[in-house]
Amino acid sequence: MNKKLIKTVALSLVASMGFLMAGCEQEQAADNELGTVTPGVLTMATNAYFPPYEFYEGEQIVGIDAEIAQAVADKLGLELVIEDVEFDSIIAGVQAGKYDIGCAGMTVTEERLQSVNFTSTYSTGIQSIIVTEGSDITNLDSLIASDCMVGVQSGTTGDLYMTDDIGEDRIDRYNKGNDAVMALISGAVGAVVIDNQPAQSFVDANEGLVILDTPYTVEDYAMAVNKENEALLEAINNALAELEADGTIDSIIEQYIPSEEA
């Protein structure tokens, strides 16, 4: 093969590679028009110790949040990847662009809105108070008036609200809700404040615990999204609206929290 022919072939190969690379870049750009951390993937941060919203079934994370996020990902044509992290690192991770969404029975608060945006709400939660049977604490007023320590999951609204109501000195924070419940059983704390559905799961699994009749607060759950990613926020809100309209969200919640009529 002469030098002229070799040069022509080489130039053709370079040009072909250039077209291929340009094509790949265009395809990736199209795939990632929602600005996800990884093209084609919706990366969700959660804390998988919050049944029935997220928990482990074998090695798989399941629950209300996991299924709703999967339904949203399907609507958007994305693969869902769930990362199990400490609850109080979720907002910072979404803000830093490490995760696309934070979905962990997360309530919209003014403090969190300073760091992230939130989608429309998809479920309602209730903060409840767990005590041991026969406890002198019978309602919120008696809890506030007492001098007992209160166990909370770090960074949750139960943590935020109770700190405001009774002060930092009476709060014991735990990475997992179950750890707070174990502290209650051992007598290290006199009450635990946590969302009602996980509270019910913990009470069912541990004899001698009760949930006070009066709820502490009622709040709405939403997904946290990076403030700079308006396209993803809009797309998720559209998907949630469709899933609400066609009954998918109600069906998922009913699967884990059967209504009284069921």
Cα dist. 177→37, 88, 192 in Å? 29, 12, 9
User: Looking at the domain that runs over 41-122+222-256, which CATH code has it been given?
Assistant: 3.40.190.10
Residue 256 predicted with pLDDT over 90? no
Question: What count of Cα atoms within 13 Å lies in the side-chain half-sphere of residue 104?
Answer: 31
The residue that leads in pLDDT, 35 or 12, is 35
Domain layout of the chain by residue ranges: 41-122+222-256, 126-219
CA 132 distance to own-chain centroid: 28
**Structure confidence by residue, pLDDT tens digits, 33-55:** 999 999 999 999 999 998 889 99
pLDDT value of residue 24: 40
Q: Please state, rounded to an integer, the average pLDDT across all residues of the chain.
A: 88
Q: Does pTM surpass 0.75?
A: no
pLDDT bin (cut points 50, 70, 90) of residue 259 is low
Average pLDDT over residues 211-215: 87
CATH superfamily of 126-219: Periplasmic binding protein-like II (3.40.190.10)
Q: Give the burial class of 24: count Cβ atoms within 10 A of its Cβ; 0-12 exposed, 13-18 middle, 19 or more buried.
A: exposed
**Structure confidence by residue, pLDDT tens digits, 74-130:** 999 999 999 999 999 999 999 999 999 999 999 898 999 999 999 999 998 889 999
Say whether 126-219 and 41-122+222-256 share the same fold: yes
Contacts of 159 (CB under 8 A, 6+ apart): 152, 153, 171, 173, 193
Rounded to 10°, the helix 230-245/64-76 angle is 110
Q: What is the dihedral of CA 176, 92, 85, 204, to 10 degrees?
A: 30
Question: How far is Cα 152 from Cα 178, in angstroms, rounded to an integer?
Answer: 10
Q: Do 225 and 94 touch, CB atoms closer than 8 A?
A: yes
